[in-house]
């Protein structure tokens, strides 16, 4: 039997912490904040008491549909802060009524047909790692069917010459890599949610991946997409490039389940890297590090990794002392040695005031998987992968924290950094009486960075969701005012709607609504996401 996902924690039920671990965390936080924090008991699946399903699947679909409380609870929320708190607190006022697990495209169509016929909401679901309410059932409908694609988990075809693979949309990150690895390939798309997110989810949300420069979003790796819509099949021609009309794939990418259900895609894959180079360059200030990152990316050296941590983040996530920012540079290739690229990047970084000893520039011209992952760079990487699990220890202890990301042009970046940080610091201070605000760049472009803010403070148990919302709203308003985007790679969902509505052209929303009417005439697909129903 497949290991079961936790309905509240990141990962599987076996990833849930022990009560002892959570007590230790509570003690640690008690000391940190100077107040007594208790670790309440963790919720169990047997504690769930959900509203009974309001609808039943037709007999023809009964075999692939689940209506038990665990399945429906698991499919009620994503994994952002309010989701985790509500799930931990067993608050599931509006779960889906039915969770369907189609095993093939015909069953995807059958489920969608059923929803269209009887006007039930249909919510496409990958692995539920959304942090923007992208899969949360909306209020005010008679029935909600969540369509879990996880059974579509195969790599169907590999073209080693073109380096491309036809892949089913429901495959999770690790299973996808497991199927490519024997052939010497990798997709190398590693969002932080990698373990519990799917190809279809990445495509539907324009996920940001492994590469910090050049080809940053999953968008750039798409040859063609196949999507089931209530109006029929949408499939684009598999091409390395084209200039024939507006790119059809680009309307699917980022459509967040409102136009159809992506069932498979031809994706560009990579040969597994053999040559690597990595370095962590210290800077006196975040802005000095940003200047170096700007120059490196404008020189088009295209490092795979070009992440800049502010001093606070460098201390928290990479074990540094808090006095310096850290620019993590990484180059990799299956074909050509990377030392020269790194040397050129280091020369630029040093000219911009960066500090690194010659010995700390790691150049590995061999196939060892772990090469170049020592020191502060390795520490940062481990912290990145473990972060979502780490939060399993703190949910329900009263902490209020989250991350938010944007992208902005370099000319506006210093002002955005200052104003968003100030908004976070002020609101965290007001709401939580103090806490931690840090920032890093996850991706950088020749014309601007993608800054990623993290905040954390101590809230009041029971009020965390409201407190979180207050902070999030202040930061989002600051992002908008400073010319940023409401999301670089977390998507829009239901949570980001107010600011997304300020960002996108009104006429684009009109065009998208019109397109949706063609593909989903009854409006059953994920209503409320991106546009009003």
Within 336-355, the residues that bind its own copies by CB under 8 A are 336-337, 340, 344, 348
* Binding to its own copies, residues 179-208 (CB under 8 A): 205-208
Interaction with its own copies in 404-423: which residues (CB under 8 A)? 407-411
Considering the complex, what minimum distance in angstroms separates the CB of residue 433 from its own copies?
Answer: 33
Based on CB atoms, which residue is closest to its own copies, 389 or 445? 445
User: Do 261 and 107 touch, CB atoms closer than 8 A?
Assistant: no
- Beta-bridge partner residues of 158: 165
Count of residues in contact with its own copies, rule CB under 8 A: 98
Instruction: Decide whether 367 or 510 has the Cβ nearer to its own copies.
Output: 510
* C-alpha separations of 488 from 7, 152, 212, 268, 405 in Å: 27, 27, 12, 21, 6
Name the minimum Å distance from CB 255 to its own copies.
6
Residue 255, both tokens: 């459509």
In the complex with its own copies, the residue whose CB is nearer, 24 or 503, is: 503
Q: How would you class 114 by CB atoms within 10 Å of its CB: exposed for 0-12, middle for 13-18, buried for 19 or more?
A: buried
Is-contact 511 464, C-beta < 8 A? no
- Please give the residues from 103 up to 122 whose contact with its own copies meets the rule CB under 8 A: none
What distance in Å separates the CA atoms of residue 209 and residue 383, rounded to the nearest whole number? 16
- Interface residue with its own copies among 380, 496, 525, 527 (CB under 8 A) is 496
For residue 498, state whether it binds its own copies (rule: CB under 8 A).
Answer: no
Q: Is the CB of 145 or the CB of 252 nearer to its own copies?
A: 252
Q: How far is the CB of 290 from its own copies (least distance, A)?
A: 11
Strands 98-100 and 65-66: antiparallel
Residues 424-443 that bind its own copies (CB under 8 A): 443
* Closer residue to its own copies in complex, CB, 229/376: 229
Site for its own copies in 458-487 (CB under 8 A): 483-487
Footprint (CB under 8 A) of its own copies, residues 500-529: 500, 503-508, 510-515, 517-519
Q: Look up tokens 């698991």; give the residue.
A: 74
Q: Using the minimum distance from each CB to its own copies, give the nearer residue, 206 or 324.
A: 206
Options 14, 31, 161, 370; binder of its own copies; rule CB under 8 A: 161
Restricting to residues 255-314, name those near its own copies by CB under 8 A: 255-256, 259, 268, 271, 294-295, 298-302
User: What mask of x and - would describe binding to its own copies in positions 211 to 250, judged by CB under 8 A?
Assistant: ---x-xx-x---x-----x-xxxxxxxxxxxxxxxxxx-x
Cα(7)–Cα(45) distance, integer angstroms: 7
Q: Which helix H or strand E contains 157, and what residues bound it? A: strand 155-159
Both tokens of 421, joined, read 């940080």
DSSP assignment of 380-418 equals: HHHHHHHHHHHGGGTTTTTEEEEEEE----TTTHHHHHH
The DSSP bridge partners found for residue 271 are 185
Q: Does 143 bind its own copies (CB under 8 A)?
A: no
Tell me the β-bridge partners of 152: none
Please say which residue, 401 or 484, places its beta carbon nearer to its own copies. Answer: 484
Between CA 229 and CA 234 the distance in angstroms is 7
């Amino acid at each position: 039997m497949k290991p079961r996902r936790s309905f509240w924690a990141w990962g599987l039920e076996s990833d849930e912490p022990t009560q002892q671990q959570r007590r230790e965390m509570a003690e640690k936080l008690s000391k940190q904040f100077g107040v007594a924090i208790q670790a309440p008991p963790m919720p169990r699946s047997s504690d769930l008491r959900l509203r009974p399903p309001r609808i039943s699947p037709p007999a023809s679909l009964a075999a692939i549909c689940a209506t038990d409380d665990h399945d429906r609870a698991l499919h009620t929320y994503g994994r952002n802060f309010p989701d985790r708190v509500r799930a931990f607190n067993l608050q599931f006022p509006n779960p889906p009524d039915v969770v369907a697990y189609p095993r093939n495209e015909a069953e995807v169509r059958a489920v969608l047909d059923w929803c269209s016929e009887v006007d039930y909401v249909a919510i496409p679901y990958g692995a539920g790692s959304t942090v923007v309410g992208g899969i949360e059932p909306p209020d005010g409908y008679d029935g909600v069917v969540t369509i879990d694609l996880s059974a579509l988990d195969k790599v169907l075809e590999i073209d080693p010459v073109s380096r491309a693979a036809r892949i089913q949309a429901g495959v999770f990150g690790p299973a996808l890599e497991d199927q490519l690895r024997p052939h010497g390939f990798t997709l190398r798309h590693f969002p932080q949610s990698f373990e519990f997110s799917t190809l279809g989810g990445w495509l539907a949300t324009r996920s940001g991946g492994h590469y910090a420069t050049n080809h940053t979003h999953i968008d750039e790796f798409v040859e063609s997409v196949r999507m089931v819509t209530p109006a029929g099949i949408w499939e684009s021609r598999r091409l390395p490039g084209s200039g024939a009309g507006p790119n059809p794939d680009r309307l699917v990418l980022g459509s967040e389940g409102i136009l159809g259900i992506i069932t498979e895609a031809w994706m560009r894959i990579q040969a597994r890297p053999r040559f690597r180079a990595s370095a962590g360059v210290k800077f006196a200030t975040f802005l000095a590090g940003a200047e170096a990152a700007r120059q490196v990316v404008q020189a088009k050296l295209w490092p795979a990794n070009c992440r800049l941590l502010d001093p606070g983040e460098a201390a928290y996530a990479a074990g540094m002392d808090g006095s310096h920012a850290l620019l993590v540079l990484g180059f990799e290739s299956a074909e050509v040695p990377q030392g020269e690229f790194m040397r050129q990047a280091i020369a630029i970084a040093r000219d911009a005031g960066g500090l690194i000893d010659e010995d700390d520039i790691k150049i590995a011209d061999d196939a060892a998987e772990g090469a170049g992952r020592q020191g502060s760079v390795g520490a940062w990487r481990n912290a990145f992968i473990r972060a979502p699990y780490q939060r399993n220890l703190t949910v329900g202890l009263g902490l209020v924290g989250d991350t938010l990301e944007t992208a902005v042009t370099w000319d506006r970046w210093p002002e955005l950094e200052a104003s968003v940080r100030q908004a976070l610091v002020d609101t965290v201070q007001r709401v939580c009486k103090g806490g931690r605000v840090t920032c890093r760049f996850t991706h950088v472009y020749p014309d601007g960075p993608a800054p990623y803010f993290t905040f954390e403070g101590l809230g009041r148990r029971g009020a965390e969701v409201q407190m979180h919302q207050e902070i999030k709203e202040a930061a989002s308003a600051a992002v908008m005012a400073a010319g940023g985007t409401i999301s670089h790679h977390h998507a829009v969902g239901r949570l980001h709607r107010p600011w997304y509505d300020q960002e996108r052209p009104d006429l684009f929303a009109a065009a998208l609504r019109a397109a949706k009417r063609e593909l989903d005439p009854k409006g059953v697909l994920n209503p409320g996401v991106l546009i009003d129903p």
